[in-house]
Structure 1
């Protein structure tokens, strides 16, 4: 069970949003490389990074910040936000990104995701961001009519490495992960699922080790780590069963 600390990038700095609203950004660190190094020093084994500007623009906008992150850590980094063609996927994997997260393009062009998964086994993740159970795209600015579970099932045989499932209504507001819908999604597909959105306290960490949550690959934490609501050492110890 992996706990992924999150670095969300906006205008080159580390921020957290509330419910995906770009005008509701709180700056937590102006040095993404240092923040990534801090997370690794705390004992985290993986890192989750999102280019928020890129998600809205449709292409990477915080490349320099991501490069700095990669230069400062040895742990695997997964990256999402504005990656929507093979050239961008190839470029990031060549730079050392461990896994690329494809969100909007998974809805707009699912065949591209399938092709990418075949070309890069174990390195393509589908990001499913849902509002009211329906998939949101374009940096969460648009909500489609597609159900999250239907999108997940569409990639059942595609060979994607994982699904990051985010409940937008809970993201950044510290109300706890929507464990019910996340576990239901994980049961509906054979693809490993990562929970995201709203992780609030050690109660959520403890929830991660309950038997029904064992089906998940892990969960992502952002604001709760930055605000000190979760002690990294304690959280990691719980996940290791200590």
Structure 2
């Protein structure tokens, strides 16, 4: 069963941040210095690389970096001790629903026994919501074609795909981090993440297919091959989106 934790796991996050001078480095370090939940940071101007060790959700760290006014691209996610030699798996799901609601869920397998689920949501009604992994990665009929909640190896009477709950604030936004000892990234690639309204029984309101994503040091692209644009052109294009 997935649970929220009073002692969030320490993870390492890799970002590409557009930097042109030493002042950029100083701006980033100043923004991160003393922030509760950030344990360490490393900034490499020549490679436009920022590595952050933190207990915060990735969306929170991304927002902090964007506050420097620089373009930011999230590149990879791993355990605090992972320096690229070992990788247990990472995944991402971009969720969509009606009326402009959207969300992004990342999963990283910190160890064979521990998976961190990290999410950010926008446009939801304030209050409690549930996030679950469903059996099928089929959204041809919206969330109705995602099937049942992924059973996995149920713990404490709950299916493995029942990850947990999060609360949406009065602005319709939520960020959360959960830990699961029953979900494994390798078992859920190609399935779907579905967000349910806790106030409505069976009320699936947005969903997205789970796709494999890069771990630490596994993404070094400078050009987006789909459109032939640089990562900075893409970052500028989607700077206001999740």
> Which structure is higher in strand share?
2
TM-score by length of structure 2 reads 0.29
From the two aligned structures, give the one with the greater helix fraction: 1
Q: TM-score, normalised by structure 1?
A: 0.29
Q: Which has the higher contact order (CA 8 A, sep 6+)?
A: 2
Q: Which has the larger radius of gyration?
A: 2
